[in-house]
Amino acid sequence: MNKTGIVKSSLQRAAKFVIFRILFNGIYCMHAKKPVNTNKVLFVEVREPEISNSFSLLYKKLKKDSHYQIHTHFLRTGFAGKLEYTTRCTAMLRDMADAKYVFLNDGCNVTGSIPMRSETILTQTWHACGAFKKFGFSTAELKYGESAQEMKKYPYYGNTAYVTLSSPEIAWAYEEAMLLGGRRECMKATGVSRTDVFFQPRFLNAARAHVQSCVPFAGGRKVILYAPTFRGHASGAYAPDCLDIRMLRQELGREYVLIIKHHPFVKNPPPVPPDCADFAKDVTKELSIEELLCASDICISDYSSLVFEYSLFERPMLFYAYDLEDYFDWRGFYYDFDELAPGPVVRTNEEIIDFIRHIEARFDRDRVRQFRKRFMSACDGHATQRILELVFGRSFGRAE
C-alpha cells in the first residue's frame, strides 16, 4: 500500500472509531438511562427494506398480541449512503435503548459493539438454515471477509442471548462464525421460523396455485427451479450467467419448464432469451422462494442454503458449481462440498441435462433424507412457537 492508501485507511479507521465508540455508544448510553420497557419488541432488518421471511411469522404472531409494542428498523447496510445509514442506526439505537426484546436475522456490528444493558434479550434468528458457505468470523482474512482484528474490535454478533438453529449439528459452525466460542448455551435448536409454512397445507396449495398463475405456459410439464446465490459482496451482488437456457429448452423443453429465482441482492440478472419464453421465466420479483420450493419438482442451485429447506420435501436437487474453486477461495465452506451435497455436483450444462434425463434412476432419496435429518431435524412446523416461548418465557397459544 502506498502513502496515500495508508493515510486514507488511517482516516477511515479513525472515522469508524468516532462513529461507533463515541456517537453510537453515546446515543445508546444516554437513552439507556430510561427504565426498560418490558413490552417493547424491536425487529431490526440489517439489509432488507421491509420485514423479510426470516421475521414474518414471528412478527405477525406478536402483532396479534396487544400486550407488546412492536417497532421495526431497516438499516439498509451496504445499500444506504453513509449519512442515511448513520441516521438509521442512531434512530434504532435510541429506540433499542429501553427495549426488553430485540430480534436480528443478520450480523450487525452496530448492535454488537455497544454496551448493551443486561435486561435486553437479543435473539439472532439467522436468515438461513444449515451451515453451508462460511459467514461472520469464519470468513476473517478471506477475500469475502474483513480482518480478524476488525471483526473482534467491532463484533457483528456481540450481546447475543440466543441463536436459533435448524439442527444441533450446526452449533459449532455458528459458534465460530459469531465469535461465541464457549457459549454453547446461546445455541438453541428451536428450528427456523420461516420453515413453518412448509408444514401448512393451506400455504402449500396457495403456493402451487400462485406459481401456476404466474407461469401459465407450464401446463402439465414439471418444474425445474434454478435458484443460485449471488457472487461478490451484497452491495454489488451479481448473478452467475453460465446456465445455457437455450440448450436446456432444446433437450428438456417437452417435459419441463424452467423457473428462475435470483438472490434479492442481485440488481441486474441475466435476461431469459426471447426465443425461450415458452420454456423459461425469471420470477424473482413475482414469487417468493418459499412458494417456488413448494411447487418445484427439481431444484438446481449452487452454494445457496435454500437446499436445506428444499430437503424438507425430499425431492431431487443438483448443484451447478462451475466456479467451485473460485468460490471456495472467495468464501469457503464449513463442510466438504462434494461430500455434503445431497445430490450431484456438476460443472457443465451437459451434466445437468444428463442427470435430469435419468432422474428416476439416479435420484437418491435416502441421501436427501439423511441430509434432512442431519441439518433440519428441528424444523417440524412449530419453530415459531418454540422461539417465542424461549424468548418471552410464556405460551403464545397453538401455532397457526
Q: How far apart are CA 205 and CA 221, in angstroms?
A: 18
Grid cell of 399 as nine digits:
401455532
> Exposed (0-12), middle (13-18) or buried (19+): which is 130, by Cβ within 10 Å?
buried
Q: How far apart are CA 256 and CA 124, in angstroms?
A: 39
pLDDT < 70: residue spans in the chain: 1-3, 5, 7, 397-400
Which of 155, 26, 47 has its CA nearest to residue 97?
26
Q: How far apart are CA 170 and CA 131, in angstroms?
A: 6
- Alpha carbon 307 to chain centroid, angstroms: 12
Report the pLDDT value the prediction gives residue 398, as an integer from 0 to 100.
59
Grid cell of 333 as nine digits:
465452506
Report the pLDDT value the prediction gives residue 331, as an integer from 0 to 100.
84
**What is the sign, positive or negative, of the torsion defined by CA atoms of 150, 154, 159, 161?**
negative
pTM: 0.92
**Cα–Cα separations (whole angstroms), residue 300 to 34, 74, 132, 187, 210:** 51, 31, 16, 30, 21
**Cα–Cα separations (whole angstroms), residue 171 to 82, 306, 374, 382, 384:** 34, 18, 12, 20, 19
Residues 286-308 have pLDDT tens digits of: 999 999 999 999 999 999 999 99
Q: How far apart are CA 43 and CA 31, in angstroms?
A: 18
- Angle made by CA atoms 111, 115, 119, in degrees to the nearest 5: 90
- φ and ψ of 249, to 5 deg: -65, -45
Residues 207-244 have pLDDT tens digits of: 999 999 999 999 889 999 999 999 888 778 899 999 99
Report the pLDDT value the prediction gives residue 1, as an integer from 0 to 100.
59
Report the pLDDT value the prediction gives residue 357, as an integer from 0 to 100.
96
Q: How far apart are CA 116 and CA 260, in angstroms?
A: 42
